[in-house]
């Protein structure tokens, strides 16, 4: 995620606030028991669900821009990881009409943002099952301090909807196990009034028209965290092709946006190919962009395979969101406190882009950023390895995270550093990882002990010394 400068400034010094809630722990029992309502992420205790592993979502959403009504049908295929008498799905706001498990009507109830599903017969550990939820309602965006006071999630535009859900808004438009540690593959079918285009992740499998409606069937064949899914709808000019490196590209642009100086298609192609040289093979089947007109969203998001921009954004933002395809989308956080593994790396990539362009070096960019922030500034009071929920997107997570990587590069040398980045994306490709995993790999690749180094940069507050000083 990249926030516009003004949005970041205005909310930079949010008070620290910790969501303290204990995840329910379920005692092991010989009989089938309910799955836990969350996976135990301290920032979002009820997100994700226990007792099963999601495998594949088949999402169907039909949208009426006039009334803002969404009619949805989601089938999640999953595997039980315990004997299950009941299990949860995350769903905010919307009304559930009916639930089936393996084609049979299942009982369900709502508790807060959880649907509790009770299948007609218990599910056995290891059993593969399909749960279908038919639902409807008018999705509302979320707001609050987390994303800098900006609204996020399912956001109505003048011609449709702009959908960007980090960190916890996927469950405002489809029932899911809404945590990045719960990845699955997706088929996403969008139905909208004729004349509008539905844009989603991965490849466009088929599209067509039926009466006064248009439909689009997208498939994301690589594992994806729910917050990276989209079903953005609107009037779009679509340009497709292939990058010089051979990756298919799909760029959808709102035709009412003023033509800016930034060539989104060209930079997307160039950055996808260049990052593939630095970070390892591009992890997804397609690359691209969704460029919409959504002024109320002060951010852009690394939607998987097609970053979503709420306006025509800068070259720096585009290369940032594309770097996230490796750092965040393919290699995802295990818990939200690991967010610097996304934002620190994508921000560092912007310095690497400066080197690629010959406009700056990461060495100089690091020192410029460091010296611009006085030692007593609140910036240095955030603990990057655990920034707390309501400040998880604070400047320090981005910039001190990037500084950490440049300090690491100066410590272990270019050779080890540029072996480490592709080693990281290869080792955890399509998976989840945490800060301890990164430190372990950095030590292995460099042959150095780096515990004290990372402790200073990530686990302590206060301004660390510049390397060599």
Using CB under 5 A, list all residues that contact Zn ion: 1-2, 343, 346
CB of 306 to Zn ion, least distance (A): 15
CA dist 183 to 91, 153, 331, 425, Å? 17, 18, 11, 16
Q: Yes or no: say if 361 and 354 are a contact pair by the CB < 8 Å rule.
A: yes
What is the CA angle 261-263-264, rounded to 5? 125
CB of 307 to Zn ion, least distance (A): 9
Which is nearer to Zn ion, 139 or 328 (by Cβ)? 328
Q: Yes or no: say if 235 and 255 are a contact pair by the CB < 8 Å rule.
A: yes
Measured CA to CA, the distance from residue 211 to residue 379 in angstroms comes to 56
CB of 211 to Zn ion, least distance (A): 40
CB of 241 to Zn ion, least distance (A): 26
CB of 293 to Zn ion, least distance (A): 21
Which is nearer to Zn ion, 1 or 365 (by Cβ)? 1
Which is nearer to Zn ion, 202 or 307 (by Cβ)? 307
- To which residue do tokens 């002024």 refer? 295
CB of 24 to Zn ion, least distance (A): 32
What six digits make up the tokens of 204?
């466009």
Which is nearer to Zn ion, 424 or 453 (by Cβ)? 424
Which is nearer to Zn ion, 119 or 387 (by Cβ)? 387
Measured CA to CA, the distance from residue 154 to residue 165 in angstroms comes to 7
CB of 445 to Zn ion, least distance (A): 24
Which is nearer to Zn ion, 82 or 388 (by Cβ)? 388
CB of 343 to Zn ion, least distance (A): 5
Which is nearer to Zn ion, 236 or 345 (by Cβ)? 345
Measured CA to CA, the distance from residue 382 to residue 394 in angstroms comes to 8
Q: Yes or no: say if 160 and 290 are a contact pair by the CB < 8 Å rule.
A: no
Q: Of 400, 278, 383, whose CA–CA distance to 347 is shortest? A: 400
Which is nearer to Zn ion, 114 or 399 (by Cβ)? 399
**11: number of Cβ within 10 Å:** 21
Contacts of 359 (CB under 8 A, 6+ apart): none
Which is nearer to Zn ion, 234 or 328 (by Cβ)? 328
Burial of 188 from C-beta contacts in 10 A (0-12 / 13-18 / 19+):
buried
Report helix, strand or coil for 367.
helix
CB of 404 to Zn ion, least distance (A): 15
User: Is the sign of the CA dihedral 215, 221, 224, 228 positive or negative?
Assistant: negative
Q: Yes or no: say if 295 and 309 are a contact pair by the CB < 8 Å rule.
A: no
Measured CA to CA, the distance from residue 441 to residue 130 in angstroms comes to 37
């Amino acid at each position: 995620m990249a926030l516009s400068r003004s949005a970041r400034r205005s909310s930079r010094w949010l008070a620290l606030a910790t969501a303290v809630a204990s995840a329910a722990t379920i005692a092991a029992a010989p009989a089938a028991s309910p799955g836990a309502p969350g996976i135990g992420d301290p920032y979002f205790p009820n997100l994700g669900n226990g007792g099963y592993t999601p495998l594949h979502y088949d999402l169907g959403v039909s949208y009426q821009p006039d009334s803002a009504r969404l009619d949805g049908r989601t089938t999640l295929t999953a595997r039980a990881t315990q004997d299950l008498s009941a299990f949860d799905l995350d769903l905010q706001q919307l009304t559930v009409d009916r639930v089936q498990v393996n084609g049979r009507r299942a009982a369900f109830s709502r508790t807060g943002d959880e649907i509790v599903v009770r299948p007609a017969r218990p599910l056995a550990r290891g059993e593969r099952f399909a749960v279908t939820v038919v639902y409807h309602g008018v999705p509302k965006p979320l707001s609050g301090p987390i994303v800098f006071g900006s609204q996020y999630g399912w956001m109505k535009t003048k011609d449709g909807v702009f959908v960007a859900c980090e960190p916890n808004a996927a469950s405002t438009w489809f029932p899911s196990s809404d945590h990045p540690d719960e990845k699955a593959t997706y088929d996403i079918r969008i139905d909208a009034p004729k004349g509008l285009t539905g844009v989603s992740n991965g490849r466009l499998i088929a599209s067509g028209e039926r009466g006064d409606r248009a439909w689009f069937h997208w498939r994301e064949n690589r594992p994806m965290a729910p917050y990276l899914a989209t079903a953005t709808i609107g009037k779009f000019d679509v340009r497709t092709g292939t990058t010089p490196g051979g990756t298919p590209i799909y760029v959808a642009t709102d035709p009412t946006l003023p033509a800016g100086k930034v060539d989104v298609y060209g930079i997307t192609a160039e950055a996808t190919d260049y990052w593939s040289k630095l970070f390892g093979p591009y992890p997804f089947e397609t690359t691209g962009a969704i460029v919409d007109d959504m002024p109320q969203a002060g951010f852009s998001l690394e939607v998987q395979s097609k970053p979503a921009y709420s306006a025509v954004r800068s070259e720096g933002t585009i290369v940032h969101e594309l770097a996230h395809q490796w750092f965040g989308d393919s290699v995802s956080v295990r818990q939200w406190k690991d967010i610097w593994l996304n934002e620190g790396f994508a921000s560092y990539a912007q310095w690497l882009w400066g080197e690629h362009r010959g406009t700056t070096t990461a060495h100089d960019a690091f020192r410029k950023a460091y010296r611009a922030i006085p030692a007593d500034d609140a910036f240095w009071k955030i603990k990057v390895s655990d920034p707390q929920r309501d400040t998880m997107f604070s400047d320090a997570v981005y910039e001190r995270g990037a500084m950490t990587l440049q300090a690491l590069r100066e410590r272990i040398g270019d050779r080890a550093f540029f072996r480490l980045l592709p080693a990281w994306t290869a080792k955890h490709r399509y998976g989840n990882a945490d800060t301890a995993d990164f430190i372990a790999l950095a030590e292995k690749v460099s042959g150095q002990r780096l515990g004290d180094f990372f402790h200073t940069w990530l686990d302590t507050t206060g301004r660390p010394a510049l390397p060599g000083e």
